[in-house]
Amino acid sequence: MSAATDPNPVYPAALRLAGRRAVVVGGGVVAQRRVLGLLDARADVLVVAPEATPAVEALADGGEIRWERRPYRDGDLAEAWYAVAAADDPAVNAAVARAAEAGRVFCSRADSADDSSAWTPAVGRHDGVTVAVIGGGDPRRAVDVRDGVLEGLRDGTLAAPHHRGRTPGVALVGGGPGDPDLITVRGRRLLAEADVVVADRLGPRGLLDELAPDVEIIDASKIPYGRALAQDAINEVLIERAKAGKFVVRLKGGDPFVFGRGFEEVLACAEAGVPCSVVPGITSAVSVPALAGIPVTHRGVAHEFTVVSGHVAPDNPKSLVDWPALGRMTGTLVILMGIERIAAIAATLLANGRAPQTPVAVIQEGTMPGERRVQTTLGLIEEAVAEAGIRPPAIVVVGPVVGLT
């Protein structure tokens, strides 16, 4: 519909009401919603109503708004820049609208869009962007459109890059266990805004295909028995690109601080004077078992769970894990990077108290199309892993919770 044929033409504008008087007549649920929106705009809010909801009363008691506990009367809009007529009585709302018209104050009348000089849009905010939708008199449609736009902004499917220039630096983003749908909303948004992406093999690789053609992608994969980009080299790449004025996303699998060496990269950036932010990710230690139907805790079965790295054998002097203590525990044990040393790990746990019949699940490439699962017992795990040809990356879950599935 063109503006010429629209029966209710409007001129969209964003009001800057910070420090300016906004008068809300009425204290019910509708008025409450309007008050909260006006407070978000930092308006000087005056509520005029004999009664109000507990939420409005709490705002008044806390000093966030001023509440005149009385009926509306002439002169209440004298200092107003904006008015909301949200009383239960249509006659009161009509009086407010007339006074606003006479005083050239824009007024939103909650019970009559046709008699309002200002319409309240469906509003949402994300990362500095305000989405305000007017549905042509259909508030439900406005809400649906608003929610659709916000969802796209939050999950990265609707790009809204910072064209005024994002500050050069590094964002350390946890990509989750591998499935692209399991990255956080903020992580996906920053990935869409990156100039450079330094990606691990275990990160959500599918998201790299969505990047713009001019985004530089650097493979930082640490592939077992293959080529590896040393951590120092990774740090140098992050710092070099950031100092060249680029916004760099370091995309890692799982959570950057769960056996991901993420804090080493944070320290390297700090020493080089490069701004670095961290976006936590969903750790595979919990998410992969959960998606495989295994809870790491369950009432009456496990009151604790422990996550350990198995990249160093139990008998290696460099190991920082108290494996004998883990053998004595009865809770759930989640082992990351332990497949290559599973025989020694199992033997140590058995020697220190874990029963041979303890249920064990091994999940390879969890959440990914090539996911494989082996369920066995601690006493038979070495043979089961070898027979199934399980290779990294794989997660081992030890404990009674495995037997629940």
**Which sequence positions are flagged as catalytic?**
200, 222
Establish whether the linkage from the previous residue to 393 is cis, with ω within 30° of 0. yes
3-state secondary structure 219-255: ECCECCCCCECCHHHHHHHHHHHHHCCCEEEEEECEC
Q: Report the DSSP beta bridge partners of residue 85.
A: 25, 109
Question: What CA dihedral angle connects 269, 237, 175 and 219, to 10 degrees?
Answer: -170
Q: From 277, 220, 278, 285, select the one nearest 259 (Cα to Cα).
A: 285
**224: amino acid identity, one letter:** P
In this structure, are residues 252 and 260 in contact, taking their beta carbons and an 8 Å threshold? yes
What is the per-residue burial (b if ≥16 Cβ within 10 Å, else e) of 381-397?
A: bbebbeeeebebbbbbb
Q: Report the DSSP beta bridge partners of residue 276.
A: 170
| Cα separations in angstroms, 253 against 196, 217, 281, 284, 321 | 17, 16, 8, 8, 22
Q: From 101, 93, 104, 103, select the one nearest 71 (Cα to Cα).
A: 93
In this structure, are residues 306 and 332 in contact, taking their beta carbons and an 8 Å threshold? yes
